[in-house]
Structure 1
Amino acid sequence: MTDKIIVGWREILSLPELGIETIKAKIDTGARSSCLHTFKLETFERDSELWVRFWVHPLQNNNDFIKECEAKVLDQRMVKDSGGHEEQRFVIQTMLKFNKEEWPIEMTLTNRENMLFRMLLGRTAMQNKIIVDPTVSFLIS
Structure 2
Amino acid sequence: MYNIHAKVDTGAETSVLHCEDFKVFERKGHRYITCHIKPHLEEEEILTLTFPVHRERIVKSSFGQTETRYIFITKIKMFDCLFDIKLSLRDRSSMSYPMLLGRNFINQKFLVDVSQKYLAKNSF
SS in 2 for 1:21: coil
- Matching residue within 11, 15, 27 for 1:34: 15
Aligned to 1:84: 64
1:93 maps to amino acid:
I
Aligned to 1:51: 32
Residue 90 of structure 1 deviates from its aligned partner by: 0.7
Unaligned runs of 5+ in 2: none
**2: CA distance, partners of 1:135 / 1:81:** 26
2:32 maps to amino acid:
W
Residue 44 of structure 1 deviates from its aligned partner by: 2.2
- Conserved in 2, the CA contact under 8 Å of 1:24 and 1:60? no
Unaligned runs of 5+ in 1: 1-19
Q: What is the aligned length?
A: 121
2:96 maps to amino acid:
L
1:32 maps to amino acid:
E
Root-mean-square deviation (Å): 1.3
Aligned to 2:75: 95
In the TM superposition, what are the counterparts of 1:1-141 in structure 2 within 5 Å? Answer: 20-62=1-43, 64-140=44-120, 141=123
SS in 2 for 1:45: strand
Residue 103 of structure 1 deviates from its aligned partner by: 1.6
